Amino acid sequence: MNNEQISARLAQFRPPHWAQDPVSAGFVRAIGMERDELVIRLVLPFADLAVAESLKTLDLELCQLSGARAVRWQLALDVATLARANEAQGVAGVRNIIAVSSGKGGVGKSTTAVNLALALKRQGARVGILDADVYGPSIPLMLGVADARPESDDGKTMSPIEAYGLKANSIGFLVGADDATIWRGPMASKALAQILRETRWGELDYLVVDLPPGTGDIQITIAQQVPTTGALVVTTPQNVALADAVKGISMFRKVNIPVLGVIENMSYHQCSQCGHQEALFGEGGGLRVSVEHQVPLLGQLPLDVNICRHMDNGTPTVEALPEGHITKAYLDIAARVAAGLYFTGTPIPTSLYTRSV
């Protein structure tokens, strides 16, 4: 068998959301024959295990080239730590922080943050979620752990709540919802910095942070307090929401936090009876913002009564309907976010988790 031929074929493989092929990116670690099987080992530095499906489309050709009876793909993750915005000091053990924001309230930012976190986990990563929405911490409810409280065995650090394989902490676990809403910027950001650094996250590939909606002082303070790798802006297609999404993009750019892209939520309504799709809030808005402001449109989610029901019941859609089309959309977004983060970022050394803070 000629490894060079196999390598050359792999070098032509590039999923649309990857900026490089696996060979030139250095993801291919071994090519060899084991009995009559061609074994190819890839190690990805970002969460994208679903790429296995696309790789399988090469099987027939690779068998012909190598004379093998079958191809065995060995796909593993070793998520790279990428440089943080403004060279901020990281959280030990946490490789990358993804901030989820929205210019306008109620557009589905928390829904997106939770499902994105679960989708990143399905793509093979170790994931945490931090609810930094001081105005309306809803993540405990959405994860079905509203009554949980983080425990502290040393009086200094707290253990996160575990839900659906995510490590979660929320300002909502620690203060009453009404107390947090009257906090002013400095108080809220101080409390948040404490939660971020005093939670025993352990080793995480991605920590998703749900920011408070809006683009005012408090959001800027909080965004700067979190050592972010990249930020996402969630919007709906209405003009008012889009105008606020643009303000969100500008806010991050002003404080030098890279914007990974825009996610359009409630893009269209699909009739549960006949399947007819209707753009209730207008069409093409997310794409327009993405083109005009040069940020990727990472995906579009339908307005679907199931999403709302799942979140209210504390079983997010990615868990409730793991094989459904909405989950597929979240998995695609997760892969695009993870790949985008990697290909636009600069790898730096990973600092391992230590118990002392």
Ligand X SMILES: Nc1ncnc2c1ncn2[C@@H]1O[C@H](COP(=O)(O)OP(=O)(O)OP(=O)(O)O)[C@@H](O)[C@H]1O
Contacts with ligand X, residue ranges (CB under 6 A): 102, 105-111, 133, 136, 138, 213, 265-266, 301, 303-304, 307-308, 311
Q: Is 110 annotated as a binding residue?
A: yes
* Contact present, 77 and 43 (Cβ < 8 Å): yes
Task: Report how far Cα 128 is from the mean position of its chain's Cα atoms.
Answer: 10
Nearer to ligand X, 93 or 213 (CB): 213
Only one residue has tokens 């300002």, namely 171
Nearer to ligand X, 197 or 247 (CB): 247
Min separation Cβ 303 and ligand X, Å: 4
Cβ distance to ligand X smaller for residue 119 or 339: 119
CA terminus-to-terminus distance, the chain: 53
Nearest CB to ligand X, comparing residues 108 and 150: 108
Cβ 189 to ligand X shortest distance, Å:
17
By beta-carbon proximity to ligand X, the closer residue of 290 and 317 is 317
Q: What angle do CA 307, 295, 221 make, to 5 degrees?
A: 80
- Residue burial 109-133, b: 16+ Cβ < 10 Å; e: rest: bbbbbbbbbbbbbbbbbbbbbbbbb
Helix (H, G, I), strand (E, B) or coil at 166: strand
Question: Which string of DSSP letters, residue by residue, matches 264-300?
Answer: E-S--EE-TTT--EE-TT-SSHHHHHHHHTT--EEEE
CA–CA separation, 74 and 29 (whole Å) = 10
Whether 109 has a binding-site annotation, put simply, is yes
**Please, are residues 264 and 276 in contact by the beta-carbon 8 Å criterion?**
no
Smallest gap from Cβ 114 to ligand X, in A, equals 8
CB of residue 8 to ligand X, shortest distance in Å:
43
C-beta closer to ligand X: residue 15 or 302: 302
Q: Closest approach of Cβ 315 to ligand X, in Å?
A: 12
Is 7 assigned a ligand-binding role in the annotation?
no
Report how far apart, in Å, the C-alpha atoms of 297 and of each of 42, 110, 188, 314, 345 are. 28, 18, 31, 28, 18
> Measuring CA to CA, which residue among 231, 289, 234, 235 is closest to residue 257?
231
* Shortest reach from residue 139's CB to ligand X, in Å: 9
Task: Compute the least distance from the CB of residue 125 to ligand X, in Å.
Answer: 22
Nearer to ligand X by C-beta: 158 or 311?
311
Q: What is the largest CA-CA distance in the chain?
A: 69
Q: Is 104 annotated as a binding residue?
A: yes
Q: What are the binding residues for ATP?
A: 103-110
Residue ranges of the binding site = 103-110
